[in-house]
Amino acid sequence: MTELPLVEPVGPQRVLYGGGVPVAALLKLPQWDAATRHPFLRAVGEGTASTFGVWLAQDALFVADLVAFQARLVARAPRSAQGVLAQGVVGLVAELDWFDIQAASLGVSLEVAPMRATRDYQALLVGLDEERYARAVVGLWVLERVYLEAWRYAASYGGTGRYAAAVAHWTDPAFASYVAALEELADAALAQEADDGVEDVVGAVLAHEVAFWDMAEQRDG
C-alpha cells in the first residue's frame, strides 16, 4: 500500500479520511500522471488523434454504464448528498445526447461492441455498487477528477483543432464545479466512515483510466 504524505487541511471545516489526510491528497499517488497525461490526450489536444472515434464510441458506452451506477448511488446516498449526485445523473443523460451530436459531426458510429477496457471498467462500476457508499462516492469523484485533469492536459496542447468540442466539454467551469462538489461529498463520507485503504479504490480507477486511454490507441481489443 502506498504511504501517503500528510498534508495540512484546507480551512477549519476540512474533513479527513482515515490516515489523516483529505481525499485531495490522493492526487499525489504516482498513477495520476499516467492517467491524466497520456499520449492519446496530447494527440487529441493537437488535433492529430487518428483513433479519436474509437475512444468516442467506447466512452459513450462507458457513460451509459455510469448513468446506471450513479442512479443507484443516489438511492443509497445520504440525503445531504443526493442533490449533487442526482444533478450528475441528469448531466450524464445530457452527455449521451452530446455523444450523438459529436459522432454525427465526425462521421463516427456509436453502434459498437464494448472493447476489453470498457468491459473491465463496467465490472469495476459493478464492484463499486457492492462497496460501502463512502468507497463508491470516492470512486466516482476519482473518475470525474481524472477526466477534468486529463482534458486540461489535452487543452494545454492547443485544444482548438478537430477535437476542440471534446476538450471544451470536459474543461468547462461547470464541470470543474461539479468535480469539486463530488470531492466535498467524498470527504464528508469518509469523515463519517474512515477508511485507511481507500487508496485501493483510487488506484483501481486510475488503472482502468490508463487502460481506457491505451484502448483509444487500439492497443487492445
Q: How far apart are CA 17 and CA 190, in angstroms?
A: 5
pLDDT of residue 199: 85
Other CB atoms within a 10 A radius of the CB of residue 111 amount to 7
Helices (H), 130-196: 133-155, 164-169, 173-192
Per-residue pLDDT of 171-203, as tens digits, reads: 999 999 999 999 999 999 988 877 667 889 999
Per-residue pLDDT of 11-69, as tens digits, reads: 333 334 444 456 777 787 888 999 999 999 999 999 999 999 999 999 999 999 999 99
Nearest 10 degrees: CA dihedral of 122, 124, 130, 135?
Answer: -130
- % of the chain with per-residue pLDDT over 70: 88
Q: Is the pLDDT of residue 3 over 60?
A: no
Determine the Cα angle at 107 with ends 103 and 113, to 5°.
Answer: 65
Q: How far apart are CA 29 and CA 7, in angstroms?
A: 13
Q: How far apart are CA 111 and CA 170, in angstroms?
A: 23
pLDDT of residue 123: 97
Q: Give the mean pLDDT of 111-129.
A: 97
pLDDT of residue 115: 96
Determine the Cα angle at 33 with ends 91 and 213, to 5°.
Answer: 55
The answer to whether 56 touches 118, Cβ cutoff 8 Å, is no
pLDDT of residue 220: 54
Q: How far apart are CA 78 and CA 202, in angstroms?
A: 21
- % of the chain with per-residue pLDDT over 90: 77
